[in-house]
């Protein structure tokens, strides 16, 4: 039986817990103290509720981040320096170049392993393969409902209550998108990491009052040729900011753990 630690106890963590594969159990959940009683009730006291992963005296088989970019910045280095395996959903944290380098060094020095999950988007294996031959251009368009942009800087860029047609409210690099929209633009960061980097990946963010889905459109061209991918995903019913597919990518990381394979995109110590 593999035993994992989960960072976070929000909508995504609940979805992952609900779908955990056989052979995987939750040993620890890192969350705010206000959630600890709920965690104890959910698991009948069989899971340790912690405020920091460093309070864990054992070694999890995998630390699964389902929290936020802030959690990556707060705990990532210490986790990797302990030689643990850390799988990220909040890949936008790596848009901070200093943090990205810190995590790489921690993995190298501590023997830990950092895995970038595919999250809410598909086709990352093809994009990484295309990178090997040389990519000339990668663009990404994110199209979401007004509800999915609430609580983000989009509220100061567009009138979410009265928008009547699809409207682009941000254009910039993946690094800029991930930093300005930490809860909404992890896909942009993932595409950049798998492709031509944070500063060379061009991003558009759009609000569309006529959709309930999160649509991700990627266009890449280079020596290999070109491809165009469009994915229309459903947000979690419990949180419109969170993609169902992103939660499923975390579940898939657990499946790979049982199979002994943690995926392709890893920083090893």
Of 15, 4, 14, which Cα lies nearest the Cα of 248?
15
Q: Catalytic site residue 35?
A: no
Residue 166: pLDDT band (50, 70, 90) is very high
pLDDT at 266: 52
Mean pLDDT confidence for 8-35 = 96
pLDDT at 237: 87
User: Residue 71 pairs with which residues in a beta bridge?
Assistant: none
Mean pLDDT confidence for 138-157 = 96
Residue 107's domain is classified under what CATH number? 3.40.50.720
Task: Verify that 105 and 133 share a domain, yes or no.
Answer: no
Task: Verify that 251 and 155 share a domain, yes or no.
Answer: no
| Residue 9 falls inside a structural domain | yes
Task: Verify that 55 and 102 share a domain, yes or no.
Answer: yes
Q: What is the DSSP letter of 237?
A: T
Task: Verify that 223 and 198 share a domain, yes or no.
Answer: yes
Task: Verify that 140 and 40 share a domain, yes or no.
Answer: no
User: Residue 243 pairs with which residues in a beta bridge?
Assistant: 235
| Residue 238 falls inside a structural domain | no
| Residue 67 falls inside a structural domain | yes
| Residue 240 falls inside a structural domain | no
* Catalytic-role residue among 216, 219, 228, 255: 216
The pLDDT tens digits for 115-144 are 999 998 989 999 999 999 999 999 999 999
Q: What is the token pair recorded at 165? A: 């047609």
The pLDDT tens digits for 94-109 are 999 999 999 999 999 9
| Residue 111 falls inside a structural domain | yes
Task: Verify that 110 and 19 share a domain, yes or no.
Answer: yes
Mean pLDDT confidence for 20-39 = 97
Could you give the 3-state DSSP secondary structure of residue 104?
helix
| Residue 239 falls inside a structural domain | no
Task: Verify that 156 and 175 share a domain, yes or no.
Answer: yes
DSSP characters over 44-89? TT-SEEESSGGG--S--SEEEE-S-HHHHHHHHHHHHHTT-EEEES
Task: Verify that 84 and 141 share a domain, yes or no.
Answer: no
What's the structural domain count of the chain?
Answer: 2
Burial 10-47 (b: 16+ CB within 10 A, else e): bbbbbbbbeebeeebebbbbbbeeebbeebeebbeeeb
Provide the domain limits for residue 223: 124-233
pLDDT at 260: 52
Residue 168's domain is classified under what CATH number? 3.30.360.10
Task: Verify that 145 and 200 share a domain, yes or no.
Answer: yes
| Residue 198 falls inside a structural domain | yes
State how far the alpha carbon of 148 is from the alpha carbons of 114, 211, 246, 250, in Å. Answer: 28, 10, 14, 20
Task: Verify that 94 and 188 share a domain, yes or no.
Answer: no
- C-alpha span between 264 and 54 (Å, rounded): 27
The top-scoring range by mean pLDDT among 84-93, 176-185, 250-259 is 84-93
Task: Verify that 191 and 224 share a domain, yes or no.
Answer: yes
| Residue 155 falls inside a structural domain | yes
Task: Verify that 96 and 131 share a domain, yes or no.
Answer: no
- Residue 265 predicted with pLDDT over 90: no
CA torsion, points 191, 192, 194, 195, in degrees to nearest 10? 110
């Amino acid at each position: 039986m593999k035993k994992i630690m989960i960072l976070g106890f929000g909508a995504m963590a609940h979805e992952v817990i609900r779908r955990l594969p056989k052979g995987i159990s939750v040993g620890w959940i890192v969350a705010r103290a206000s959630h600890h009683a709920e965690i104890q009730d959910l698991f009948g006291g069989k899971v340790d509720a912690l405020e920091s992963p460093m309070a864990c005296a054992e070694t999890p088989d995998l630390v699964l981040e389902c929290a936020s970019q802030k959690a990556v910045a707060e705990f990532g280095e210490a986790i990797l320096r302990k030689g643990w395996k850390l799988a990220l959903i909040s890949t936008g944290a790596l848009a901070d170049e200093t943090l990205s380098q810190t995590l790489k060094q921690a993995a190298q020095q501590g023997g830990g392993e950092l895995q970038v999950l595919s999250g809410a988007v598909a086709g990352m294996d093809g994009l990484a393969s295309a990178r090997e031959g040389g990519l000339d251009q990668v663009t990404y368009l994110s199209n979401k409902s007004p509800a999915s942009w609430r609580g983000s800087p989009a509220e100061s860029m567009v009138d979410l209550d009265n928008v009547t047609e699809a409207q682009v409210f941000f254009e910039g690099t993946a690094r800029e998108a991930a930093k300005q929209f930490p809860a909404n633009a992890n896909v942009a960061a993932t595409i950049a990491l798998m492709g031509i980097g944070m500063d060379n990946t061009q991003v558009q963010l759009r609000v569309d009052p006529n959709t309930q889905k999160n649509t991700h459109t990627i266009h890449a061209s280079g020596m290999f040729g070109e491809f165009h991918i469009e994915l229309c995903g459903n947000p979690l019913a419990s949180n419109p900011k969170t993609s169902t597919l992103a939660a499923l990518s975390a579940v898939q990381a657990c499946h790979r753990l049982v199979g002994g394979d943690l995926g392709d995109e890893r920083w090893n110590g």
